[in-house]
Structures are given as C-alpha cells and as structure tokens.
Amino acid sequence: MSFIHSVVTAYPAYRYSTEEITDKAGAWLKSAPQERALFERLAGSTKIEYRNFALPIEDLLRLEGTATRAQIFGEVGGALLREVITKGLQESEISPQAVGALLTTSCSVPAIPAIDAHLIEELNIPQTVLRLPVFQYGCAGGAIGISLARHLCATSGITLLASVELCSLVYQGEDLRSGNIVGSAIFGDGAACVVISPDSGPLRIVDSQSYLIPNTSTLMGYDIFDDGTHLRLDREIPQALLQAAPAAIETFLAQSDLSSHDIAWWLFHPGGAKILSSLEETLSVSRSQSRWAWESLRDHGNMSSASILSALESFLKDREFKVGEKVLMLGVGPGLTLQMNLFECCG
C-alpha cells in the first residue's frame, strides 16, 4: 500500500494582488486596447486575489529569449525545489537517506538535466535514488505524479513527488493571442512536495486512472516557435471537460464498487473559476466539499502541476475528514487528460 504522508508548499518572493497586476499590465498592453480590455475583464472575474512570481513584474515584462528563462528557472526553481524537499522531509521526520525515489513535475522550462539532479548530493539523498522527471503532462502533472509515485513507492519505499512551476517564464510579451492573454491573467508560480510512504499517512491511495478525452489534443498545450513556447488555451476546454468528466469518474469509481455519491470530499485542479463552478454543478458537489481548490486559486492563481498539491495540503491541514471517508482528486492537463486519484481517509 501507499499513503500520502505529508504535503508542503513554497512560493517565490514576489507577491502581487490582482489589482497591482492589472495596473502593471497596462504598460504591456498600452498599444492594444482590445487586448487590454480582455485582460482587465478576465482579471476581474478569475476569483484570484494574489499571485507569486519568480521576478518583479517589471522584469517579467522585459523577458526575452529562452536562455534567460532557463537561467532563471535553474536559480529560482532550484531554490524552491530545495526548500520544499527539505520542508517535506523535516515535517515527515524522515531522513534524506531513506528516500528511494524522487519524481519531479514541471512544464515551465525543459531543463536537461532536470533541476533535481543538482540537489541530490547537497540534500544528502542517496545517489542511487530512482529519479523520474515529468514535463509534458502540464497542469495534470501533480495528480499524475501521485499515481506514478504510488507505484514507485511499492518497489522503492519512501517516494518524494516535487512540483516546481514558474509559469511566469512562459510569458511572451509580443504574443497578443487570447491564450497568452488568458494565461497572463490566471497563472502564478509555486512549488510543492508530497511525501509518499509505504507504511502510514492520513490518506491511503486506493486507486488511480487516467482518461484521454478523444479529439481534444489541440485544445491545450504549447505552440513551439523560434522564440520559445507560447501558451495555447482554447475556449472549448470547459465544455470538453464537462462532457467527459462525469462518465469517466463514474467508470473509474465503479472499479472500487463506488459511485460519486460515495465521495465525501473533492480535490479539483484549481484551473479557473469557470471550470470549478461548472464541475461542482455537473457533479452535484457542494462548495464545502471542494473549497480547497477555490482557496488555492484565490491565494495563488493557477500554478499548473503544483496547484492541486496546494489544495491537497490545505485539505490535510483542515482535518475535517473522518476515518474511512473517500476523497476524489481530479487533475486536468494537455491531451486533454483527466487524472483521477481515489483516497481513503485514515485519520
């Protein structure tokens, strides 16, 4: 068996309110009134109050080239990774030498080697640790990471799942397409670490399953141009998710002789207010059953693969659950991919 033992998060130093971000975005979009109006309209409806960034906004607005972004990711992302792994091990009271596997997720910069390779010796993690860096799952990476870590834990023992997302480094100032405008209005930076144990923890990982929604591969992802990666977010994403999610969830739960009515708590990917409210309505989930996604979205924006782990951290801190209650985590990412993880509360 595999258990969620603990979850911790960390955020870069530069924190801004939505009002501050909207004001500073005026400098970016001063010559594009329609796009500026779109940004302001989006910012006012996202339910996001704060976001953290790797750099001051003025520096983000001047970002150029992939080399600069890669350097920043190595420095800021490496520091965040060091922080969350250290905090995760300390909170769990686990020695670094006990770590058998390290799974890292990010879709910010495709660094090779992945940034964890520079920290293994410094953190006193065994050099024989099984490393698995994951990039292309995007926002679903945190949820899929838990599924993969569950299997790694069965053979490697204590497994760390660490997500580091500096979404601000994907910003492209010359790109005024709607996907980049939307992304600039909702994405933030952050990191998380989940410690998965074969012995004990407040949540037992019961089952996991991915579902690739047919005919949706062009709706979300990156367009790769000569100047780097450009965010692609299609307006059809919410509808595609709502059409597929209910049946996929019921099929998944039926494997454990359960239905959605047996789920006490829901952990949705904090991708956006429209998606969250639509999922609640479609699945007949109350706000009290799923509020942690809203809290993460409000306080940090969409941090890609780290977001759902932030919601998981808040859920565990609240400790409102009872032994035996079931929890469903729903991750969403490019593909379009649904990642479903079923947990049982252990106290």
Q: Quick check: 175 pLDDT over 90?
A: no
In the predicted model, what is the mean pLDDT of residues 281-298? 95
Claim to verify: residue 188 and residue 290 sit in the same structural domain = no
Buried b (16+ CB within 10 A) or exposed e, 166-185: bbbbbbbeebbebbbbbbbb
- Answering whether pTM is above 0.85, one says yes
How far apart are alpha carbons 201 and 184 in whole angstroms?
37
* 99 within 8 A of 126, measured Cβ to Cβ: yes
In the predicted model, what is the mean pLDDT of residues 197-221? 94
Residues marked active site are found at 139
Claim to verify: residue 46 and residue 189 sit in the same structural domain = yes
Return the pLDDT at 229.
80
Q: Quick check: 128 pLDDT over 90?
A: yes
* pLDDT higher at 288 or 234: 288
* pLDDT higher at 272 or 327: 327
Tokens standing for residue 330: 């729903």
Q: Identify the band that residue 112 occupies on the pLDDT scale cut at 50, 70 and 90.
A: confident
Q: Quick check: 214 pLDDT over 90?
A: yes
Helix, coil or strand: residue 6: strand
- What contacts 21, CB < 8 A, 6 or more positions away? 43, 51, 57
Of 163, 197, 231, the residue at which a domain comes to its end is 197
Claim to verify: residue 107 and residue 192 sit in the same structural domain = yes
Looking at the structure of the chain, the number of domains it has is: 2
Claim to verify: residue 175 and residue 208 sit in the same structural domain = no
- On average, the pLDDT of the chain sits at 93
Claim to verify: residue 171 and residue 23 sit in the same structural domain = yes
CATH of the domain at 26: 3.40.47.10
Claim to verify: residue 173 and residue 233 sit in the same structural domain = no
Claim to verify: residue 98 and residue 212 sit in the same structural domain = no
Which secondary structure element, helix H or strand E, spans residue 3, and what is its range?
strand 3-10
How far apart are alpha carbons 74 and 110 in whole angstroms?
10
Return the pLDDT at 227.
80
Return the pLDDT at 31.
86
In the predicted model, what is the mean pLDDT of residues 78-91? 97
Q: Quick check: 32 pLDDT over 80?
A: yes
How far apart are alpha carbons 76 and 65 in whole angstroms?
17
* 170 within 8 A of 150, measured Cβ to Cβ: no
Residue 302: strand pairing partners: 187
* 204 within 8 A of 16, measured Cβ to Cβ: no
Return the pLDDT at 139.
92
Token pair 């996001």 is at which residue? 48
Claim to verify: residue 15 and residue 143 sit in the same structural domain = yes
In the predicted model, what is the mean pLDDT of residues 292-313? 97
- What contacts 17, CB < 8 A, 6 or more positions away? 49, 50
Structural domain span for residue 223: 203-345
pLDDT per position as a tens digit, 233-252: 888 888 999 899 999 999 99
Of 197, 224, 241, the residue at which a domain comes to its end is 197
In the predicted model, what is the mean pLDDT of residues 135-155? 94
Of 167, 197, 227, the residue at which a domain comes to its end is 197
Claim to verify: residue 260 and residue 125 sit in the same structural domain = no
- In the chain, % of residues over pLDDT 70: 100
In the predicted model, what is the mean pLDDT of residues 88-95? 95
pLDDT per position as a tens digit, 50-70: 999 999 999 999 888 889 999
- In the chain, % of residues over pLDDT 90: 76
Q: Quick check: 27 pLDDT over 90?
A: no
Q: Identify the band that residue 180 occupies on the pLDDT scale cut at 50, 70 and 90.
A: confident
Claim to verify: residue 193 and residue 208 sit in the same structural domain = no
Claim to verify: residue 191 and residue 149 sit in the same structural domain = yes
Q: Quick check: 347 pLDDT over 80?
A: no
Q: Give the lowest-confidence range in 183-192, 214-223, 312-321.
A: 214-223
Claim to verify: residue 209 and residue 277 sit in the same structural domain = yes
pLDDT per position as a tens digit, 65-83: 889 999 999 999 999 999 9
